[in-house]
Structure 1
Amino acid sequence: MAPPRRPIRIGNCSGAAVDPGDVMYEQAVSGPIDVITGDYLAEANLAQAAEAYAEGTHPGWVASAWDGLQKSLRVAAERRIKIVINGGALNPKGLAVQCAEEANRLGLADKLKIAWVEGDDLLPDIREILRPDARGRLPHLDAENPEVKLPDDTANFLDDPRKKIVAANAYLGGRAIRAGLDAGADIVICGRVADASPVMGAAAWWHRWADDDFDRLAGALVAGHLIECSYYVTGGNFAGFDEYDIGRDLLDIGCPIAEIDASGECIITKHEKLRGVVTEETVKCQLLYELQGNVYLNSDVKADITHVAVRQVGANRVRVSGAKGHPPPPTTKLAVFYRGGYQGEHTVNAVGYATPQKYDMLEAQVRNQLKKWRCEGEIDVLEFQRVGVPQTNPRSQLKATTYLRNFVQAATADAVRKVFAAWAYNFMQHFPGMGGTLDWRLIMNPVPFLGFFPALVRQDRLRESVNFLGISDGAKPTAQRKIEINAPRITEPLEPRLNYDPVAPRSLATFGPTKLVPLGDVALARSGDKGANVNVGFTPRARLANNEETWQWLRSFLTRDRIKQMMGEDWQDGAYYTERVEFPEIRAVHFVVYGALGRGVSSSARLDCLGKGFAEFLRAVHVSVPRKFLKTKSLSSRL
């Protein structure tokens, strides 16, 4: 048996389509690296170009991914760096061909072997896949959870000819990527693989893991999850940012690196010359991002992260261990997008005195006019969302100003326009001091939107493969080899998710006198979207002098009922459902609130449609915190 190889160094270059191509090049030249991975695909952006691609007016791939490849091919060839990205989006073969032509132009045809992964596009079969089962249930992601109440209009697109399905892409694992690297690929262009799959495929290739090395694969899944969102583990989207010097630590930060060893454990770090911070806290917060409980799913493995531990082992170096792997489920996620109709929005401002009554007046005027015109039934969603609270005894007019967001969705653009027309019809009857933009092009301009249906598909339905291009000087690249990937040999059905309130909680009275302060004074948090659901995880601030006792208080305090109380007016009985688990090694409490994002993603009416602000909302809620926890260590003592 071959001796274990050194840890593989995998650097991320993207967590969204907007991350510039410069980052790929930066990762390649800023220090030693073996593989660069990039996750360019959010849930919706793959589908947003689907119709334009089908009509031949869009290349189908992500522009920033192509920009990064153009800037990085030469240095990747010189330094023998592998590149694995999902920036191929709807057209991974097209981007692979484009990449091969660029390699030819640069004289690198004999130094770069280019491959692409396909099999995620299930649009031709989607009607058959979405057939109800024997019990009449659609293959919805949350269909097996009897506590979850799906909105009544969840599946109305199936019977509405206006709501054409435009994209249906399965979340693939890392096995095709691994097969491509095994066969000598230097660059692997993917479509909709799961966010962590490029890291998993690269680690499995490097360490020669078998498909049933589930503990190792689970460790790589955790590593991939930690670095998949570009800057989120090096200081971006970090609740503890207020403890750092912005100019010194949080400007122009670099993307992370995962050093994954033969056991699957990893060290999260970054290139020394790049800015940013990698601490136990940044790693904990990213670990808690976009989870659905204690089991993290991928089509190659289920990772039980209950006992994942993080430990600072050096400056900007955090060891992550403790993931436990199990066989993957027989299904994988399938993101289905369809023409949802049209939506529009506009905002008006109110200043100062009697603001709630002002907004009551505007809403009443609009709804009354729509009723008179008998067009209420044409509108699917009509919300008047009040954003902000005017400062008491304001020190400036801006501090006295808030806005009302009028959000509309309907099957037709004309129905959306009618809401604006109802407002305009009563315009000069407006409340005192109403304001807003004078550019009427920005007001209730109907735009098409995509509806989202998170589905499941059996893995044995997939026809996954990795394909190789032949390239030679002056010739157009052609497909020369195809390696088909079978469904996982061993699978294991999903079990009901764990859901429990604190086991043996301490009485809150035992923690001593309290003070009403924002929860964020003692806790960090991270939240995100999982379709229609929002997740949030909390962990004590490391700066607290009584960190272990703070953890015991936090886990005792944060119950399912407490989250409902803290959500206040946002909580909807009968529509929402909450699950709770704990991660004792990282001292974290995690929740999923089902239904809180409406239909989710591109079809959500929420201002915070991706759930990223949910954690910061809850951290701003005032709660009774034991006074002894408000004494803190200095920041320098823990870096």
Structure 2
Amino acid sequence: MTTSTRPLRIGNISASRADRATATAEFLAASTLDVVALDMLSDEAMLDLAAQRADGGPGYERTAVVQLRECLDLLGAVGGTRGGAGGNRGGAGNVGGGPGKSGDDDNTGVRVVTNAGALDPEGLAHELRALARESGIDLPVACVVSGEVTDRASELGLGEVDVATVRHGAFGIARALADGAVVVVTGRVSREALVTGAAAAHHGWTHSALDALAGSVAVGHVLSGGPGATGVVDSSTDVTRTTDPVTGGYPIAEISGDGSAVITRHPSAFGSVTVGTVTDQLLDGVAGARYAAPDVVLRLDSVRLAQEGTDRVRLSGARGEPAPPVVAVVGMGRAEGELRPRRVARPLPQGEAGHVVVLPGGARENVPVPGETAPIGPGELPTPWTPSAVPGGAGVSTQLGSVASVRRGVVGRGVNIAVWTWDDSAFAWLAGEFTSERLRELVGALDGMEVRRYPLPNLRAVNFVARPPRGVAPVAGLGAELASARLEVPGELLEYGP
């Protein structure tokens, strides 16, 4: 995959076992993409696959095989030949290539990055190569080892869990794509890594490109929520998405060389892409004003969103800080009677993460750790902000949801509750009204929990992070009732809407 001066066009799709076999092929045939991120793993899926492997089955998601079988002709042709003909394919099946592609790229066809490898990426990679050979195609498939550490869970401080993995970052994926891989299979990498790895390969970024990497992390965070970015579903962290893969609102991003991007949607998809839908997804599962990915720390307070056109939102301004010195090791289990998996995370030094990529030719390489790391700074940042005038008018009793939106997500052993609005004047009221004390008044289940408040003026949001005492699980659905809470707001505020 050669570096390019044009934007990377990458789409997100999450297929499930219940989907028709042709869903991914339909998604690709109706769009023009360079890369598709086939994001197939939730906490529930990881636990299911661990149980499946314990019963003698594969440790990877075979749905990926079912889906990719139907779209082999749409995949990148570099290194992949059919019937010995060789060369690059053109014509109608040339998704992401052909005349519409600028001359600085020789590659045609879409590439696939997928976390469907789960606990055995090498096993899935082997099956995909065999599948392609049956069709007369030599398909370059690479993989990033799963980083499974279940047998070390106690040693790493995770306790008794059913499965534990290291959340690797983006540069194993980037190395594989740069080496010519058409399909890259990973395990449960960090949330944004599929997108960031593809962008790093496309634009030739190194670990020092902090701002560009940070921008792609923000984009990857938005795309990882699938239909949440188009307002089709309230897709919170790690909830398996079950809407139709083609019409169900899956997003697309056009990522430029500086890390800025336009978020849009699949042409056949329901929903719409607005500053509101992107804001809502961007605030899912974030702690404070710094969002730590394995390769860079995103200054969330620096991100700006603007409506560029119908179903087109520009994301820009992202600032990056050096990568953290540690990555996350995440253990998961399900206690009897619990509906959702129990998750516990611990830090692991970057140098001990065992980040290895297996290239299409079979060579195994250790993925270098970032050359510069730094401890993650405090969540609070001195964000310059001059508030607009607070709306006036007589106070009116109304539900919070009539003047603002609420986004909830999972943050480590706690939750984040973000309240955001769509107008600078409305945010001036929101920033003054929503203190930690006010949140406690409106959400009674916060009693006994630590609550921290982080204003994010660029996003017109106030983000709260609530953590229960160690060893105590947070209340299920914490904050779900906040949007319906009644409070008194300035009458002029009711003139604003999303």
TM range (shorter): 0.7 to 0.9
Which string of whole-angstrom CA distances, capped at 9 and with x for unpartnered residues, describes residues 418-438 of structure 1? xxxxxxxxxxxxxxxxxxxxx
Measured after TM superposition, the shift of residue 502 of structure 1 is 12
Distance 2:191 2:12 in 1: 11
Spell out, residue by residue over 1:211-249, the C-alpha distance to the aligned partner (whole angstroms, 9 max, x if none).
Answer: 11011000110111111111110122359xxxxxxxxxx
Deviation at 1:556, TM superposition (A): 0.7
Alpha-carbon shift at residue 501 of structure 1 (Å): 13
Q: Give the alignment of 1:469-548 within 5 angstroms.
A: 480-498=362-380, 511-540=392-421, 542=422, 547-548=423-424
Q: Find the counterpart in structure 2 of residue 274 from structure 1.
A: 269
CA contact (8 A) 2:165 2:188 kept: yes
Residue of 117, 120, 124 corresponding to 1:95: 124
2:88 — aligned with what? none
Tell me the residue number matched to 2:86. Answer: none
Residue 431 of structure 2 is aligned with which of 552, 555, 566? 555
Mapped partners of 1:513, 1:583: distance in 2: 27
Label 1:453 to 1:16 Cα distance change in 2 as closer, same or farther (>3 A): farther
Question: 1:263: which partner in 2?
Answer: 258
Residue deviations 1:308-365 (CA, integer Å, cap 9, x gap): 111111111110001101111111111113574x2279xxxxxxxxxxxxxxxxxxxx
Give the deviation of 1:3 after TM superposition.
9.2
How far residue 189 of structure 1 moved from its aligned partner, in angstroms, is 0.5
Residues 37 and 618 of structure 1: is their aligned pair in 2 closer, same or farther, counting only changes over 3 Å? same
Deviations 1:109-135 (A, max 9, x none): 2xx2011110511223334333xxxxx
Could you report, residue by residue, the CA deviation over 1:179-203 in whole angstroms, capped at 9, with x for unpaired residues?
A: 0011110000100111210111100
| Shift of residue 271, structure 1, vs aligned partner | 3.0
Q: Does 1:617 align with 2:481?
A: yes
SS at match of 1:511: coil
Rounded to whole Å, the distance in 1 between the matches of 2:230 and 2:417 is 19
Shift of the 629–41 alpha-carbon distance from structure 1 to 2, 3 Å rule, reads same
Q: Aligned partners of 1:461, 1:120: CA distance in 2, in Å?
A: 11
Q: Aligned ranges for residues 300-449 of structure 1 at < 5 Å?
A: 300-338=295-333, 340=335, 342-343=336-337
**Corresponding residue of 1:354:** none
Return the letter of the residue paired with 1:93: E
Report matched runs for 1:277-292 at 5 Å: 277-292=272-287
Could you say if the C-alpha distance between residues 618 and 200 of structure 1 is closer, same or farther in structure 2, counting changes exceeding 3 Å? same
Rate the CA distance shift 1:208–1:506 in 2: closer, same or farther, 3 A. Answer: closer
Aligned partner of 1:355 in structure 2 is none
Distance 1:47 1:272, change over 3 A: closer
- Whether the 8 Å CA contact 1:517–1:624 is kept in 2: the answer is yes
Q: Is the 8 A contact 2:9 2:252 kept in 1?
A: yes
- Seen in structure 2, the aligned counterparts of structure 1 residues 3 and 63 have a Cα distance that, compared at 3 Å, is closer
Aligned to 1:122: 149
Are 1:193 and 2:189 matched, yes or no? Answer: yes
- Counterparts in 2 of 1:181 and 1:344: CA distance versus 1, 3 Å: closer
Deviation at 1:86, TM superposition (A): 0.4
2:198 matched to 1:202? Answer: yes
Q: CA deviation at 1:484?
A: 1.8
Query: Cα distance, 1:76 vs. partner?
Result: 1.9
Q: CA deviation at 1:499?
A: 8.2
Deviation string, structure 1 residues 235-280 (Cα, Å, up to 9, x no partner): 22359xxxxxxxxxxx933311110001110000123343320111
CA distance in 2, matches of 1:598, 1:502: 37
Q: Which moved more, 1:6-15 or 1:195-204?
A: 6-15
Confirm whether residue 181 of structure 1 aligns to residue 177 of structure 2: yes
**In 2, distance between residues paired with 1:321 and 1:607?**
35
Q: Is the 8 A contact 1:337 1:452 kept in 2?
A: yes
Deviation for aligned residue 1:567: 0.3
Task: Quote how far apart the aligned CAs of 1:5 are.
Answer: 1.2
Q: Measure how far apart 1:451 and its partner are.
A: 4.3
Q: Which secondary structure does the structure 2 equivalent of 1:457 belong to?
A: strand
- Give the secondary-structure state (helix, strand or coil) at the position aligned to 1:96: helix
Give the conservation status (yes or no) of the 8 Å contact 2:180–2:360: no
- Whichever residue aligns with residue 174 of structure 1, its letter is A
AA of the residue aligned to 2:224: E
Deviations 1:362-381 (A, max 9, x none): xxxxxxxxxxxxxxxxxxxx
Gaps of 5+ in 1: 131-154, 159-163, 240-250, 346-448, 471-479
Tell me the distance in 2 between the aligned counterparts of 1:517 and 1:28.
45
Q: How many residues align?
A: 457
Once the two structures are TM-superposed, the CA of residue 463 in structure 1 deviates from its matched residue by 1.6
> C-alpha separation between the residues in 2 aligned to 1:339 and 1:590?
29
Tell me the CA shift for residue 599 of structure 1: 5.3
Matched to 2:468, the amino acid is: G
Q: Any conservation in 2 of the 1:238–1:282 contact (CA below 8 Å)?
A: no
Is the contact made by 1:38 and 1:228 (CA closer than 8 Å) also made in structure 2?
Answer: no
Structure with the greater alpha carbon radius of gyration: 1
- Equivalent pair of 2:229/2:281 in contact (CA under 8 Å): yes
Is the 8 Å Cα contact of residues 392 and 493 (structure 2) preserved in structure 1?
A: no
Residue 116 of structure 2 aligns with an amino acid whose one-letter code is G
Q: Sort the Cα spacing of 1:524 and 1:179 in 2 relative to 1 into closer, same or farther, 3 A.
A: same
Q: For the Cα contact (< 8 Å) 1:500–1:581, is it kept in 2?
A: no
Q: Distance in 2 between matches of 1:505 and 1:126?
A: 48
- Would you say the 8 A contact 1:501–1:580 is kept in 2? no
Q: Which runs of 5+ in 2 are unaligned?
A: 77-92, 95-108, 236-245
Cα gap change, 1:281 to 1:344, in 2 (>3 Å): closer
Q: Write the letter of the residue equivalent to 1:588.
A: A
Calculate the TM-score normalised by the size of structure 1.
Answer: 0.66
Partner of 2:113: 84
What CA distance in whole angstroms lies between the structure 2 residues aligned with 1:531 and 1:551? 27
Residue 221 of structure 1 aligns to a residue whose secondary structure is helix
Per-residue deviation, 1:97: 1.3
Cα distance between partner residues in 1 of 2:471 and 2:250: 32
**Residue aligned with 2:462, SS:** strand
Q: Aligned pair 1:572/2:442, yes or no?
A: no
Matching residue of 1:378: none
Secondary structure of 1:49's aligned partner: helix
CA RMSD of aligned residues (A): 3.0
Letter in 2 for 1:560: S
Structure 1's 314 and 20: CA in aligned 2 closer, same or farther, altered over 3 A? farther
Asked if the contact 1:21–1:66 (Cα under 8 Å) also holds between the matched residues in 2, the reply is: no
What does residue 135 of structure 1 align with?
none
Mapped partners of 1:286, 1:344: distance in 2: 26
Aligned residue type for 1:92: P
CA contact (8 A) 1:119 1:462 kept: no
Letter in 1 for 2:371: R
**How much has 1:537 moved relative to structure 2?**
1.5
Secondary structure of 1:306 counterpart = helix
The offset of 1:503, in angstroms, is 8.6
